[in-house]
Amino acid sequence: MASQNPVYEAQETPPLLPTLRYGFQFSLMATVTLLVTPVVVARASGLGNSYLSWMMFASLLVVGVSTLVQVRRLGPVGAGALLPMFTAAFSIPFCITAVVDGGPATLMALVFVSALAQLAISRWLFILRKVITPTVGGTVVMILSITLASVVFALLDEAAQAEPEKGPATALITLIIVAALTLRGWPMLRLWGPVIGIIAGCITAAALGIYDFEPVLRAPWVGLPDQWPGFGLHLGIPFWTLLPSFLFLGVIISIQTNGESIAHQRVSRRGSQAVDFRQVQGAMAGTGVSNLMASIFGAVPTVINPGAVSFTQTTGMASRRVGYLIGLVFVLVAFSPKISSVLGTIPAPVVTGYLLLVTGNLLVDGARTIIQSEPNRQKIVVAGVCFWLGAAFQFGLFALPDLGGVVNALLKSGITTGGLAAIIMILYIELTSPRQMRFQSQLNIDALPDLTEFVNKFADRRGWNNAMKDRLGAVAEETLLTLAPLDLEGLLSDDDGIDGNDDRRLIVLASSDGQMADLEFIGGSSGANIEDQVHQLQQYDTLPPTEHDLSLRLLRNYATSVRHQQYHDTDIITVRVGPPDVD
């Protein structure tokens, strides 16, 4: 049965035996599947066993070290949570094209650019929140399922040509076992589903005589790869044609990190708390640094392990202590050619069977992200149109003129065409929506008269009555008092999280949706999360209010909903206000 609340939160220290048990358990589950991506890419490159050995070593080393960074948190880099890293299976089509067309140096340069995009998104997440949306991310993930499927079908075709009966049979058995355990198994068994399916597929392949175990017997227990591939930056035509796709890959990884970090916060903390977007930014920065390391070592791109949330929810274990052990195990396995060879010799039909389920999950996850996160029906339509547009370009259904090598290559990519179309259409919807009104001033209580005049003007333009105007004014006043409370007679100290800096700026954006008004307050860091404070007041409504609670209680009574997003150095409080009830 899944755990509803964590037994151990991130900062807590579990006993040694549970730490070892859960740490080794997760490491084993992750190690078996995380090498699938580098193995598929290395085999497709045609560069031989030396490149395959290096890719396995580099991927394990990067994943291990970056897991430690993600768990430990170094300044603004890292989530400070149990979020182990993983290789990005959805990057397989990009990586194969890069390494086949341009070689390892081109892959290194493209992963480097993708990492820079992730770091930029993490730094300016609050600015890009209108573009880096669940709709864009979900649409691109859905298109990714098509591009990955083309690779999977090519692998399956190669297996069928080599072994007309044994190859497809092995892939089918692997798929059936992985799907059966993942879909209907007990919570813990679902976590082990991919591992059990791959092991069963390997046993089937060995029984059918298509599993070559000889490289494992020859590999030493401890050592380094025999050959350094000699990487460098190569900015040829393949780099420029693939650059937009890898920039989109950076966006996709950032969106995946955003979703995984938010989901992990919800299952790793006791009680209901608002999402800490500073931790989300740290996780994004940690993933960006991880991919910088991947580019330096010539490894494949990395993401947060998609099984981390399920693992924490099932076991109740969210302690960083377990994360340190997981990262250490990855690093140790990297220096053991014997263990990595076991994983690197997994037959191609077995890998194909596993990736078939990954492909299906990508399509479903992308659609679910859009439907669950996007209330705007127009943007859901955008996702559907852009998905099929990307599919049409991916499969060459449009007869296009010769526009040059670079442009032709861009238009052949469903990710590029579908992703760009999604961004353009979302921006079109935003720009053609009813215009927002904007207010700007210093963040202090002296701005209240001008702010009140602003919301009155906003209400007049919408044709709302005095009752709605008064309610909007009260919400604006209480939100301002909460962001910039009075500091009279030294009542407030630095411990309150308020520095008294008069240079802080306040921006208020006002918009409407029918009879509902949305006020978005953007200002400097205000310390405690207002959304959490309002929620706590709802839980303890019978207690007499303190002077500090009055603004929060009034805000809760006037507003339909309050959402507080805290970023590094920036707070965004979104308050939705409905018309007063008519008696």
Cβ neighbour number for residue 123 with a 10 Å cutoff: 17
Print burial letters for 187-206: b (CB count within 10 Å at least 16), e (below 16): eeebbbbbbbbbbbbbebbe
Q: pLDDT band at 286, cuts 50/70/90?
A: very high
Residues 291 and 403 in one domain: no
Taking residues 468-474, report their average pLDDT.
89
| Residue that is written with structure tokens 């707070």 in the block | 571
pLDDT tens per residue across span 178-210: 888 877 767 777 777 888 888 888 899 888 888
Indicate if the pLDDT at residue 560 is higher than 90.
no
pLDDT, the chain, mean? 80
Indicate if the pLDDT at residue 487 is higher than 60.
no
Q: How far apart are CA 154 and CA 22, in angstroms?
A: 37
> Phi/psi at 508 (nearest 5 deg)?
-120, 125
Share of the chain above pLDDT 90, in %: 19
CATH classification of the domain holding 531 = 3.30.565.10
Indicate if the pLDDT at residue 3 is higher than 50.
no
pLDDT at 60: 95
Domain total for the chain? 3
Q: Which domain holds residue 126?
A: 16-149+252-347
pTM: 0.73
The answer to whether position 142 is within a domain reads yes
Residues 415 and 452 in one domain: no
Indicate if the pLDDT at residue 543 is higher than 80.
no
Q: How far apart are CA 194 and CA 304, in angstroms?
A: 17
- pLDDT higher for 301 or 223? 301
The secondary structure of the chain in percent helix, strand, coil, rounded to multiples of 5, reads: 65, 10, 25
Indicate if the pLDDT at residue 339 is higher than 70.
yes
- How far CA 565 is from CA of 175, 260, 313, 529, 575, in Å, comes to 41, 17, 24, 8, 11
Residues 267 and 134 in one domain: yes
Residues 393 and 466 in one domain: no
Q: How far apart are CA 314 and CA 7, in angstroms?
A: 11
| Residue that is written with structure tokens 């002077």 in the block | 547
pLDDT at 321: 93
Q: How far apart are CA 299 and CA 114, in angstroms?
A: 13
Taking residues 28-41, report their average pLDDT.
84
The answer to whether position 208 is within a domain reads no
Cβ neighbour number for residue 335 with a 10 Å cutoff: 16
Taking residues 533-549, report their average pLDDT.
44
- SS3 call for 522: strand
> Phi/psi at 523 (nearest 5 deg)?
-155, -175
> Phi/psi at 563 (nearest 5 deg)?
-125, 125
Taking residues 306-310, report their average pLDDT.
77
Range of weakest confidence among 55-64, 94-103, 431-440:
431-440
Residues 415 and 559 in one domain: no
- SS3 call for 102: coil
Closest CA to 215 of 335, 340, 40: 340
Indicate if the pLDDT at residue 169 is higher than 80.
yes
Indicate if the pLDDT at residue 403 is higher than 70.
no
Q: pLDDT band at 491, cuts 50/70/90?
A: very low
> Phi/psi at 304 (nearest 5 deg)?
-70, 135
Residues 323 and 454 in one domain: no
pLDDT at 2: 44
